[in-house]
A and B are shown apart, each in its own frame.
Chain A
């Protein structure tokens, strides 16, 4: 027996219940399998389908079966519009949370359907998974449980609150009945209240307040459940996005322009004697070579590219080497109003006894997935179907529909497993979907667009660069009297697909000052939550600007930026935490003690105390008594950093060694302590934190996007190196949740951001010299040491 939708059946209501805002109706059973049938939203105006007069997915978010199906054998299926990039939450934590709310064994949730615009109900981007999004499924589970309890109470003529559910079986005195058995041979309708728009940035939200299972009764949440898709992955049984093959499919290579501002003058010739199956396709400035054979497409594209003529353009107003100075010297920051943090208060102009003032700089980073962008598009029954690994399939549907001037209902996005991007690396899409769709529509056959390594390095979006001025004023006792931060740089969210821009098709607006979408404006908001509760005078300001080169480019493409891991928070946490370690030294205090002295939140205090123990921290002021800024022997140091993200408290200690003469930095060990509240799955959290931290060490030591006045000049893993196995420090992850917390743990990306500032603090400790820019490459290190 399924809980399934069954709109067309003529039924007669014979009973009705209100379940915490959801409506449960009994109908005459007309045969068939029997079902808990959903029929209407409480407020039809708020349901997407009703609002748009068309059904953009085959599911109605107001129907419980769109989210959760319970089968006759008491197994269940869940659906989410969210995607997975390897962190596993939708396959582990989501199942645990739903199973917990239903009081059903987690093994009974046998299937997770995800990320497909046509068969998942909610939409929205893959972020805030445990903070906001899972509340949809959790609430639907709670509604279903309450509905089922109501029915069981009636069936056995007992009070509802006398019922218990254990292992998916309802216990009523001497009677027991499973979810499946209870609903057999009956027709029920339950409507779930929802609001929101499916293809908007946030998607559909389930509303109402059904009672949630008390945390004290949790037995499934907190278990170290393994990720069930690891087995098929390592066995080679999954279809990855790059593995999708369709009948008649052509392989495309896009020849992206010579510079960010070039227009196509003349495509190079295609030698048909060498490349008999190949064909050139141009749509405005979008130039591609397609072939039925992939290797032929690669070679043909190379030969066409070599003779293709593009207009010259040198409009990027600086280069990567000059970027910090450029931002420092930028004459005005009035493209867009400044933004102040909510923590800003008091008077930062008060006189202070001592002060630390310095400038910090973060370069642009690449998302740099190991597999470059790949997707396949086809036109099928009048609909454009895109096979990809998007992080926001419904938002991508909107972008593709806009580009093709088609109704959203005629675009279907199917999501597959794919390489980890850690943010959206080519606009709202993962990349190349727009190019595949344009080529498939033009050629009338399925087209697969695989970006080459250099396409990915040069044409995907970037994590924004940032320049920060930090001033910390200390009073006579060495306590912080004033804190001032000014963070300046380009904004994060360019959601325009690049192929659509090159082809001259419609996109959403570029980042502009008057962009009606807050997220797509130029403003820099303060993303790094203030954590030093005892400081009275604070001024944190964000100053935004156009993306670099965007205004100068004739095709409106500058250095495009998009969110990565802890977007903007990383850029602001690095300067704050690095400056805090320097201010601690100015106060003559140990870097952890200095933080403890200014923190008021007991949960933060607890993890900092714990960090001292776990990291074997030697409490003393920096720099280290052995600090040295020269010599060929390693100088050793340790540093600390903290972050509050998504209700998760994180602290990190780094122990490093520097060879001053060569500028070589080795991170020896990192200790992370986190209190993320209720930990849904400690095993997965540990692996996520550990991996995120290693990626953070990579960013701290190696990574920086290089560009000249025309284009990004990093093209491969040599010009954009990342961390290698031999450089990986020993990592200790300690999960120390506050037992009274009521929220699910989230924010493991903090582990990624914290490495850099802890390492910079350790650098100061080891050498007595501050390093105020990333990455800690030998050149920058030597410069910092000789300052």
Chain B
């Protein structure tokens, strides 16, 4: 049995050691936010953070992940809470998730679990990314570019800038929107 640390919890896993993480997360552990997009490390829909680095769960065998800290979008609120020593709040969201709502980033949303992971990785390293930094992170920094069929890229850029502002606690640009 392999032990994986998923979103702060140790989980015992029965799957064979060469099983890609994605199948273990979704099949055995019911962690459903990483999505299957290609299985080829070409799209980023399955991305998770492993010790703060973006990794493609669709090809990464669990044997290589023993003892490492794995974070999925489900675990982003707790990650944020822990980083900032915030009190536990059940409906807390990570600033990236909040920014995704504020900026209405998703169209269909299937790519956004990977996009939010990549955005979190970027913002943890670079709290004030420029457009160029975002382009670099989303296009060339990982095993492949993070792909969005719906074309939400411009919204993602807006979302990352807004998340950076939330993280800094900066005065937010108020937009003329109404809660849905």
Instruction: Please tell me if B178 contacts chain A, counting CB pairs below 8 Å.
Output: yes
For the complex formed, measure the closest distance between the CB of A285 and the CB atoms of chain B, giving whole angstroms: 24
- B71 — which chain A residues lie within 8 A by C-beta? none
Partner of A227, one of B38, B45, B135, B180: B180
A688 at the interface (CB under 8 A from B): yes
Within 8 A of A (CB), among B70-128: 72-74, 93, 97, 100-101, 104-113, 116
B15 and A295 within 8 A (CB)? yes
- Whether B97 and A235, one on each chain, are in contact in the complex, defined by CB atoms closer than 8 angstroms, is yes
Q: A234-B97, A293-B27, A684-B104 are in contact. Are A695 and B150 (CB under 8 A)?
A: yes
Q: Does A202 contact B (CB under 8 A)?
A: no
Cα-based distance from A239 to B135 in the complex (angstroms): 30
A295, closest chain B residue (CB): B23
Q: Is the CB of B144 within 8 A of A717?
A: yes
Q: A294-B23, A695-B149, A725-B135 are contacts. A234–B101 as well, Cβ < 8 Å?
A: yes
The residue in B107, B146, B154 that gathers the most chain A C-beta atoms within 10 A of its C-beta is: B107
Please, which residues of chain B bring their CB within 8 A of the CB of A234? Answer: 73, 93, 97, 100-101, 105-106, 109, 112, 116
A330 within 8 A of B: no
A725 and B156 within 8 A (CB): yes
B149 pairs with A295, CB closer than 8 A: no
CA distance A225 to B180 in the complex (A): 5
Given A294-B27, A453-B38, verify A370-B43 contact (CB < 8 Å).
Answer: yes
A226/B101 in contact, CB under 8 A: yes
Interface pairs (20), CB distance under 8 Å: A227-B104, A230-B100, A230-B104, A233-B112, A234-B97, A234-B116, A236-B73, A236-B113, A295-B20, A369-B149, A370-B43, A371-B36, A371-B45, A420-B108, A691-B151, A695-B151, A717-B40, A717-B144, A718-B42, A728-B157
Whether A240 contacts B32 by the Cβ 8 Å rule is: yes
Contact of A224 among B38, B39, B155, B178 (CB under 8 A): B178
What is the distance, in angstroms, from B121's C-beta to the closest C-beta of chain A?
A: 14
Whether A716 and B180, one on each chain, are in contact in the complex, defined by CB atoms closer than 8 angstroms, is: no
Q: What is the distance, in angstroms, from B28's C-beta to the closest C-beta of chain A?
A: 9
Does B12 sit at the interface, judged by CB under 8 A? no
Stretch at the interface among A84-92, A339-347, A773-781: A84-92
Does the CB pair A418–B39 fall under 8 Å? no
Q: How far is the CA of A230 from the CA of B19 in the complex (A)?
A: 32
> How distant is the Cα of A692 from the Cα of B152 in the complex, in angstroms?
8
A324 and B166 alpha carbons, distance in the complex (Å): 52
- Does any Cβ of A come within 8 Å of B148's Cβ? yes
Q: Which of A225, A240, A688 has the most CB of B within 10 A?
A: A240
Q: Are A370 and B104 in contact, with the CB atoms below 8 A?
A: no
Closest A residue by C-beta to B37: A370
Complex Cα distance A717/B43, Å?
8
Contacts of A453 in B (CB 8 A): 37-40, 42
Which of chain A's residues 647-700 have a Cβ closer than 8 Å to chain B?
A: 683-684, 687-688, 690-698
Contact A233 B106 (CB under 8 A): yes
A226 with B151: in contact, given A453-B39, A726-B138 (CB under 8 Å)?
no
Query: What is the 8 Å Cβ interface bit string for chain B, positions 31-60, against chain A (1 contact, 0 not)?
Result: 011011111101101000000000000000
Cα–Cα, bound, A610→B156 (Å): 28
Q: Within the assembled complex, what's the spacing in Å between the Cα atoms of A727 and B140?
A: 12
Which residues of the partner chain B approach A417 to less than 8 Å between Cβ atoms?
108-109
Q: Residues of A contacting B19 with CB < 8 Å?
A: 295
User: Which residues on the B side are within 8 Å of A419 (C-beta)?
Assistant: 108, 110, 149
CB pair A723 B38 closer than 8 Å: no
Which of A371, A418, A696, A731 is B37 in contact with, Cβ under 8 Å? Answer: A371
- Interface status of B176 (Cβ within 8 A of chain A): yes
Give the contacts of A217-236 with B (CB-CB under 8 A).
Answer: 223-228, 230-231, 233-236
How many chain-B residues does the 8 Å CB contact rule pick out?
A: 61
Q: Is A113 an interface residue (CB 8 A)?
A: no
B110 engages A418 (CB within 8 Å): yes
B97 touches A92 (CB 8 A): no
A450 (CB) vs chain B CBs: closest residue: B36
Q: Does B177 contact A (CB under 8 A)?
A: yes
- Scoring B residues 158 to 180 as 1 if CB is less than 8 Å from chain A, else 0, what string do you get? 00000000000000000111111
Are B109's CB and A233's CB within 8 A? Answer: yes
Within 8 Å CB of A233, what residues of B?
106, 109, 112
Instruction: Assess the B150–A420 pair: CB atoms within 8 A.
Output: yes
Interface hub of B36, B40, B73, B135 (most chain A Cβ within 10 A): B36
Q: Contact check, B36 vs A690: say whether CB atoms are below 8 A apart.
A: no
Is A716 a contact of B40 with CB atoms below 8 Å?
Answer: yes
A369 to B106, CA, bound (A): 14
B residues with a Cβ closer than 8 A to A are 15, 19-20, 23, 26-27, 32-33, 35-40, 42-43, 45, 72-74, 93, 97, 100-101, 104-113, 116, 134-136, 138-140, 144-157, 175-180
- Does A722 make an interface contact (CB < 8 A)? yes
**Within the assembled complex, what's the spacing in Å between the Cα atoms of A15 and B152?**
55
* Docked CA distance A372–B177 (Å): 33
User: Is A242 in contact with chain B by the CB < 8 A criterion?
Assistant: yes
Give A342-382 as 1s and 0s: 1 = Cβ < 8 Å from B's Cβ atoms.
Answer: 00000000000000000000000000111110100000000
* Known contacts A225-B180, A717-B42: A370-B111 contact under CB 8 Å: yes
- Chain A residues with CB under 8 A of B33: 236
Contact in complex: A371, B110 (CB < 8 Å): yes
Return chain B residues, CB-CB under 8 Å to A107. Answer: 179
Q: Are A226 and B177 in contact (CB under 8 A)?
A: yes
Contact between B40 and A722 (Cβ–Cβ < 8 Å)? no
Against B, the Cβ 8 Å flags (1 = close, 0 = not) of A417-450 are 1111010000000000000000000000000001
Residue of chain B at shortest CB distance from A92: B180
Interchain CA distance A370-B148 in the complex, whole Å? 7
Q: B152 and A691: CB pair below 8 A?
A: yes
On chain B, the residues within 8 Å of A243 by CB distance are 26, 32
Q: How far is the CA of A295 from the CA of B155 in the complex (A)?
A: 34
Closest to A236 in B: B33
Q: For chain A residues 228-274, which have a beta carbon within 8 Å of chain B? A: 228, 230-231, 233-236, 239-240, 242-243
Asked if B37 and A725 sit within 8 Å, CB to CB, the answer is no
A452 at the interface (CB under 8 A from B): yes
Kindly name the residue among A231, A372, A420, A452 whose own CB sees the greatest number of chain B CB atoms within 10 A: A420
Q: Does A724 contact B (CB under 8 A)?
A: yes
Instruction: Please judge, given known A-B contacts A234-B97, A234-B112, whether A370 and B45 are in contact too, CB under 8 Å.
Output: yes
Contact B110 A420 (CB under 8 A): yes
Which chain B residue shows the least CB distance to A227? B180
13 further interface pairs, Cβ-Cβ under 8 Å (given A91-B180, A236-B72, A370-B43) = A239-B32, A293-B27, A294-B23, A369-B108, A370-B45, A370-B111, A419-B149, A420-B108, A453-B39, A692-B151, A716-B38, A725-B146, A727-B139
Please indicate the chain B residues that have their CB under 8 angstroms from the CB of A688 in the complex. Answer: 107
Closest 7 CB pairs of A and B: A694-B151, A86-B108, A420-B108, A226-B180, A725-B138, A86-B107, A228-B180
Interface centre among A687, A698, A722, A731, by most chain B C-beta atoms within 10 angstroms, is A687
Cβ–Cβ contact A295 & B101, under 8 A? no
Chain B residues lying within 8 Å of A223, measured Cβ to Cβ, are 178
CB distance from B117 to the nearest CB of A (A): 12
Q: Which residue of A lies closest to B93 (CB)?
A: A235
Q: Could you tell me the distance in whole angstroms from the C-beta of A677 to the nearest C-beta in chain B? A: 21
B39 CB contacts on chain A under 8 angstroms? 298, 452-453
Chain A contacts for B107, CB-based, 8 A: 85-87, 420, 687-688, 691
- Given contact pairs A235-B93, A717-B43, A85 touches B108 in the complex (Cβ within 8 A): yes
CB distance from A454 to the nearest CB of B (A): 9
Bound complex: CA A368 to CA B150 (Å): 10
Partner of A230, one of B15, B73, B106: B106
A298 to B39, CA, bound (A): 10
A residues in contact with B177, CB < 8 Å:
224-226, 683
In whole angstroms, how far apart are the Cα atoms of A10 and B32 in the complex?
49
For B152, what are the chain A residues with a Cβ–Cβ distance below 8 Å?
687, 691, 694
Give min CB distance, A685 to chain B, whole Å.
11
Q: Are B138 and A240 in contact, CB atoms less than 8 angstroms apart?
A: no
CB pair B147–A370 under 8 Å, yes or no, is: yes
**Bound CA–CA A714/B38 (angstroms):** 13
Chain B neighbourhood of A85, CB < 8 A: 107-108
